[in-house]
């Protein structure tokens, strides 16, 4: 059986050419209704094979052929081996994944000059939008308790804990304080990891020139997140540390405020991710914007 890939991350396409030449192997680590995750060994990377309606993300490839994807999913089991054939195509069990004709997209965050007026407006608008339309159940309630000082929300136990570590992180943006969020929450990508991904995307885009942020990112790159959270989350955070995030998050971070329609479309796309994942990412973005504003003149 063959499955043709229509679109994929450009960095993944380049990497697969190198991996196929080196005959890298791997295995299936998880399967879902619209995504199959495979892990390649040495160098380690997590690749997602998804249907066309899944939001584009780093190291993902997508197919429009739903019938072929469903058949691949039916045949695929966790632990199935991954390799490359003599034509350098990806082989999962007995299925051939042909990525060679795929068009590519770019998930790289563009580093931008820090415009405090733009950042402050985006912070205020995003906070208001999250208050009205964000999904609760993750980190949002704790964030709004801090930002709005509201006592109308009855916090759950995890809300109170999130609030404590958010307070600590605002007091000091440090590796130790950031690590408290890793793996915190439930799901394929726990809320704490989604929050960190959103925050890192802002820092990567706007604060690369600050030595403190450069040192922070370098220190985080030395941490083995696979021992602290889920497979998918660990690679999501690692990708964010190199400026690789899902497409709507990347586009929203860099978009100027005057395009209000596009801002709303991108925010809605991010909020739609997972149960609360998109909202948790946007809380991280909002926290990042506030950090930049609070440290005006030093960032």
Give pLDDT tens digits for 206-249.
998 888 999 999 999 999 998 899 989 999 999 999 999 999 99
Give pLDDT tens digits for 135-185.
999 999 999 988 876 555 566 778 889 999 999 999 999 999 999 999 999
Biggest CA pair distance of the chain? 64
The beta strand positions in the chain, using DSSP E, are: 2-4, 7-9, 26-31, 35-40, 45-51, 60-63, 81-84, 90-92, 95-98, 103-105
What pLDDT shows up at residue 26? 94
Q: Is 241 helix (H, G, I), strand (E, B) or coil?
A: coil
Domain assignments of the chain as residue spans, ordered by start: 2-105, 116-294
Percent pLDDT > 70 in the chain is: 96
Q: How many CB atoms lie within 10 A of CB 74?
A: 9
| pTM attached to this predicted model | 0.94
Give pLDDT tens digits for 89-111.
999 988 999 999 999 999 999 99
Give pLDDT tens digits for 178-210.
999 999 998 889 999 999 999 999 999 999 888
What pLDDT shows up at residue 256? 78
Are 90 and 61 in contact by the 8 Å Cβ rule? The answer is: no
- The tokens for 217 are 């990112």
Give the Cα-Cα-Cα angle 183, 134, 170 (nearest 5 degrees).
55
């Amino acid at each position: 059986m063959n499955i043709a890939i229509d679109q994929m991350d450009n960095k993944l396409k380049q990497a697969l050419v190198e991996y196929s030449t080196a005959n890298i192997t791997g295995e299936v680590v998880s399967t879902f209704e619209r995504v199959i995750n495979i892990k390649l060994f040495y160098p380690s990377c997590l690749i997602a094979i998804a249907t066309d309606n899944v939001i584009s993300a780093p190291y993902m490839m997508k197919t429009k052929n739903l019938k072929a994807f469903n058949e691949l999913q039916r045949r695929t089991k966790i632990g199935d081996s991954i390799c490359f054939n003599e034509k350098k195509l990806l082989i999962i069990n007995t299925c051939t994944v042909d990525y060679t004709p795929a068009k590519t997209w770019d998930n790289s965050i563009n580093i931008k000059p820090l415009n405090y007026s733009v950042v402050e407006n985006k912070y205020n608008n995003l906070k208001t939008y999250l208050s009205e339309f964000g999904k609760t159940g993750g980190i949002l309630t704790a964030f709004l308790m801090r930002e709005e000082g509201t006592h109308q929300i009855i916090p759950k136990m995890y809300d109170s804990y999130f609030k404590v570590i958010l307070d600590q992180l605002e007091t000091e943006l440090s590796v130790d304080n950031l690590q408290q969020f890793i793996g915190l929450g439930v799901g394929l990508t726990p809320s704490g990891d989604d929050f960190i991904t959103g925050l890192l995307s802002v820092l990567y885009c706007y604060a690369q020139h600050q030595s403190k942020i450069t040192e922070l990112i370098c220190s985080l790159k030395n941490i083995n997140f696979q021992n602290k959270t889920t497979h998918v989350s660990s690679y999501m955070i690692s990708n964010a540390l190199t400026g690789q995030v899902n497409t709507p998050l990347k586009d929203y971070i860099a978009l100027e405020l005057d395009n209000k329609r596009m801002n709303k479309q991108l925010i809605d796309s991010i909020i739609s991710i997972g149960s609360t994942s998109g909202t948790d990412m946007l809380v991280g973005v909002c926290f990042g914007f506030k950090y930049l504003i609070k440290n005006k003149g030093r960032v």
